[in-house]
A and B are shown apart, each in its own frame.
Chain A
Amino acid sequence: MAEQLLDQARDLVDGQIDFEGQKLAEILTTVLLSVVGAIAFFVGFFLQDIALALKVGLAGTALTFLVIVPPWPFFNRHPVKWLPVGGGRTAGGAAAAHQNVVIDDKMFAQN
């Protein structure tokens, strides 16, 4: 029970996302921060208020952190589909079908 909880906590802190999610996160970071910078400048320039520009910039950056950092579900929509162990059918067999892969003391049963 305690181990399960620890695992959940570790997953939450780790916040791993899939490959497509990583690509999306990269693009989102670039676009969001650039747009925030542009908005901050124009708001400050047209309202002639540099403190406002600073606030807009920092608020937008905080928002970007909130969007990018946690492992939101939309970053995990394309989980990697692994091939069956031992090449599946070709290696022929029941022998290969029940290999156990051990990672971090966790057993991954493949079939």
Chain B
Amino acid sequence: MYNSLTRIQNVFGFFTTVAFAVAAIIAASDFTAPRTPSSEIKMTNVQVVKGRPHYYSTKKEEYAIIKFSMDADLSSLFTWNTKQVFVYVTAEWPSAGTQNQTNSAVIWDSIITAPSSDHLANIGPATLKKLRRSAAGKATDPSRGLLSLKNQRPKYQITHPTGRIAKSADVALRLHYNVQPWVGLLTWDQGRDYGLWQAMKGGLTKAFSLPAVKAKDEGKKKKA
């Protein structure tokens, strides 16, 4: 602390220590915020079609197109330390035969930004303006966690490595989330309660079976 340079070094050195400590406390403060996510999800329509993985492929695969409706309340996930929440819906079904495996494929996803990270959202200027205005003057906006989807088309049509997915039984849709904080660890939806963080209520559809491949050419044949 004898001259200015050593004082700069000392102050900056202790500043890094304090910054780390405060960051650690902020990360730990997440555990004081209860998480009570809940959702109702149901499959509304499903069909299986034949298609190609890419334009020049000679391989034909079966693709399942699963539409769903969902009412979810993830508002408790939005605290001051939440940067964004990644929400995704998977279709899960047991493997055929005796393999004792569960297949899981994402059919729909979405990124919900907190007002503090709106500027990071990958959207156009007009949409960004609208998004900013929706939370004007608010640092956190739990209402962003309220989702209501009616007969939502899937973002991704799913298949299986074998290329066969039609007539799969016991398929269920499940809602997942991934909380991405400003400071701290990523957390996913959990299967059981941990302290104030409760497991999701609902979030799983009844099991359904995929139909047979939709006969595309039937109409054409009749005409011919």
* Interface, chain A (partner B; CB < 8 A): 13-17, 21-23, 25-26, 29-30, 33-34, 36-37, 40-41, 44-45, 47-53, 57, 61, 64-65, 68-71
Contacts and interface: CB of A to CB of B under 8 A. Distances in A.
Pairs of residues from A and B, 7 with the lowest C-beta to C-beta distance, nearest first: A49-B139, A15-B4, A22-B1, A48-B80, A37-B18, A25-B1, A37-B22
B79 interface: yes
B81 interface: yes
Q: In the complex, which of the residues A37, A47, A61 has the most CB atoms of chain B within 10 Å of its own CB atom?
A: A37
The binding surface of chain B is classed by DSSP as: helix
Contact of A13 (B4, B15, B18): B4
Contacts of A52: 139
B25 interface: yes
B4 A45 contact: no
B80 A26 contact: no
A44 B1 contact: no
21 contacts: A17-B1, A17-B3, A22-B1, A25-B10, A26-B1, A26-B10, A29-B11, A36-B18, A37-B19, A41-B26, A44-B80, A45-B80, A48-B140, A49-B140, A57-B18, A61-B11, A61-B15, A64-B11, A68-B11, A69-B4, A69-B11
Given A33-B14, A41-B26, A57-B19, A49 B1 contact: no
Interface string B17-39: 01101100110010000000000
Q: In the complex, which of the residues B15, B19, B29 has the most CB atoms of chain A within 10 Å of its own CB atom?
A: B15
A71 B15 contact: no
Contacts of B21: 37
A64 B14 CA distance: 11
B116 interface: yes
B7 interface: yes
